Structure 1
């Protein structure tokens, strides 16, 4: 990556949905335009309940009512989590 070559950051953290799928859910990680630019891909796998609690809290911090936040997480965020989880086996490292 150009930033690293220019003395920039050595570690880049990206969102799994966008990095692993290139923003296109139908495109698998093996076809991601970003993957060839990465030395390693790590998959962070927090326990499901913890992930949901953190997501709900984040949405509440950003202005959603708690019931609306939980509804959003259950409908949208969890659907994305299931999609990203399918690429877990292609990660270089899984952090539980």
Structure 2
């Protein structure tokens, strides 16, 4: 689906590349994007674990999913995961705050010492949970991941402007789709339901996301 040449590298090489952005005393944001099932969440989490809490923290874009109640009111619940089922402006605002975050004087921020709180998404309940990820100003590298970091519509370009580098993950298409089907099954869908979702709504999203790959700083395939 992606006709651009991907760079093959090992996970250790990926860690080394990310470590180059984790410069103490400075703030960088690294974005991982790719189609559903590309491995963004897994790779981002593994990168943060490899670098350690002193160097990196994870802020997933999925925390900005609109709640199911809102999606039903908008008539979009059946295509949850599309770009217009997220609070893109909220995500862009958070990325800007994180980019500009500095250790503030205690008189200005009270007891929280300049911490910014980000939301997370719980797949077990398919809903976002607000203010659940504390971002400390001294953490040099924030890794964010999501489908639409390179989209050129709505508020997404404002989010991209706050991110230093965006890497597009491009596994083989058969691997990506299989991962996606198994993920849907793991969260309660039957095999038939999982395939319908993965090859229907998710596939349409995947094709739109693949079209943004040329705007990435790097297209990567882990080996």
Quick check: TM above 0.5? Answer: yes
Query: Could you say which residue in structure 1 is the equivalent of 2:150?
Result: 20
Once superposed, what is the RMSD of the aligned Cα atoms? 2.4
TM score, norm. by length of structure 2 = 0.37
Partner of 1:72: 197
Alpha-carbon distance change, 28 to 47 in structure 1, aligned in 2, over 3 angstroms: farther
**1:27/1:20 CA distance change after superposition, 3 Å:** same
By how many angstroms is 1:15 displaced? 0.6
Q: Which residue of 2 aligns with 1:7?
A: 138
Moved beyond 3 Å, runs of 4+: none
User: 1:14 Cα shift?
Assistant: 1.4
Runs of 5+ consecutive residues of structure 2 not aligned to the other structure: 1-98, 102-115, 117-134
Q: Return the index of the structure with the highest Cα Rg.
A: 2
| Offset, 1:11 | 3.5
Relative to structure 2, which stretch is displaced further, 60-69 or 8-17?
A: 8-17
Contact kept in structure 2, 1:60 and 1:69, CA below 8 Å: yes
Bigger helix share? 1
- Give the C-alpha shift of residue 32 in structure 1: 1.3
Structure 1 length as normaliser, TM-score?
A: 0.81
In the TM superposition, what is the alpha-carbon distance from 1:49 to its structure 2 partner?
0.6
Bigger strand fraction: 2
Of the structure 1 ranges 31-40 and 6-15, higher mean CA displacement relative to structure 2 is found in 6-15
Q: Cα offset for 1:12?
A: 1.2
Contact 1:16 1:84 in 2 (8 A): yes
